[in-house]
Copies of this chain bind each other. A is one copy, B any other.
Amino acid sequence: MTQSTGGGRRARRVTLADVAGRAGVDKAVVSRVVNDDPLLNIRPETRARVLAALKELDYRPNAAARSLRTSRAGTVGLFIPDFANPVYTEIITGAETAAAERGCALMVGSSTAGRGGAQSYLDLLGQGRVDGLLLAGGAITDEEQATLADRGLPWLFVNRRGPAAGRHVILDDVLGARMAVEHLLDLGHRRIAHVGGPAGADTAHRRRDGYITALRSAGVEEDPRLLVQGTYGPEGGAQAVHRLLDGPEPPTALFVANVTSAIGVLSALRAHGVAVPGEMSVVAVHDLPLAEYLIPPLTTVRMPLRALGARATRLLLSVPADHPVEEVVREPIELVMRQSTAKPK
């Protein structure tokens, strides 16, 4: 409980009063200078003195005192299911950048720590630690939803539509899926299967819609046997391939809902002796640096995940908590052609 000193040295905390004393003004003045108060009318020479004192003493405002006074934490919270999922790391990076632009810190929590669940993250946050909460992916229980409501905290769902609240920012997953499927159609494929995401996932739902829309627009009749549910992990992709290949009339192309799942797909295809892209074309949602180094290099649809994280953060910080937000981020979606797709033989 002793005042901690820095890795080996001591540093008495510099306060506004110290700076004021040195500059020969009241601390209120220093405060106004520090915060660039536009209403402050100060003699240039006084300001110069204050600025000099600030610099000499290397003053840093105490976050807790400021936050107590203004009831603003200057921090936004982001809750994700898992740090290991590259999709979330992109969202985090975007959110971090946008928060930093606003002078805010970002506090990311995942459900892997603690007993899991947003509940323990919310408990840890206590009161006043964050000014708002971004909820990315994963499931939120009714209880957590209620806690959220009680907390008096603005929140925003990211990459998924929330249960009831009209407060979310998502990507155009329908378009992304359509671009992938249309690429396969353009190559001449007609028997195109979809390795979907998990049942509960909102993104999985939207990508499936895009798949179906693309097929219909092209006048290709749907075959329910070509629609296989997976997970967003490699094992789900691998299992889906087993099921698909066992069918009577296997597809010539696969649209996979997630790049991580596609890694499992490629592996399973190889195990079955099916050549990619010779006998089977594969395209997946989300681009990753390693996609280029898969065997074969994977054709993907690059979604603007960073822009999503950034946009959500800005919206959370600017739109009043009681206003609805239902936004689809319109940054360009890109088809990244590599070597896992080709004309059907």
A50 in the interface (beta carbon within 8 A): no
Q: Which of B5, B104, B109, B233 contacts A96 (CB 8 A)?
A: B109
Contact indicator A120/B100 (Cβ below 8 Å): yes
- Asked whether A110 lies within 8 Å of B83 as measured between CB atoms, the reply is no
Stretch at the interface among A151-159, A181-189, A209-217, A244-252: A151-159
A129 x B110 contact (CB < 8 A): no
Tell me if A's interface is mostly helix, strand, loop or mixed.
Answer: mixed
Q: Say whether, besides A89-B83, A96-B113, A126-B61, A293 and B148 are in contact (CB < 8 Å).
A: no
Cα–Cα distance between A24 and B263 once the two chains are bound (Å): 63
- A11 and B151 form a contact (CB under 8 A): yes
Q: Which residues of B contact A68 (CB under 8 A)?
A: 62, 64-65, 68
Q: Are A6 and B149 in contact (CB under 8 A)?
A: yes
Q: How far is the CA of A300 from the CA of B289 in the complex (A)?
A: 21
- Would you give the 0/1 interface string for A94-111, flagging 1 where the beta carbon is closer than 8 Å to chain B? 001101100111111110
Q: Which residues of B contact A301 (CB under 8 A)?
A: none
- Chain A 70-89, CB-CB to B under 8 Å as 1, else 0, gives 11110100000001101001
Partner of A154 from B6, B124, B270 at Cβ < 8 Å: B6
Interchain CB contact under 8 A, A97 and B113:
yes
Distance in Å from the Cβ of A287 to the closest Cβ of chain B? 12
- In the complex, which residues of chain B have a beta carbon less than 8 angstroms from the beta carbon of A233? 289
A267 with B294: CB separation less than 8 A: yes
Residues of B near A297 (CB, < 8 A) are: 267
Residue A60 lies at the interface, judged by CB distance under 8 Å to chain B: yes
A58 and B267: CB pair below 8 A? no
The answer to whether A345 has its CB under 8 Å from any CB of chain B is no
Task: Please tell me if the beta carbons of A267 and B293 are within 8 angstroms of each other in the complex.
Answer: yes
Residue A67 at the B interface, CB < 8 A?
Answer: yes
Q: Which of A120, A129, A292 has the most CB of B within 10 A?
A: A129
Tell me, yes or no, whether A180 is within 8 Å of chain B by CB: no
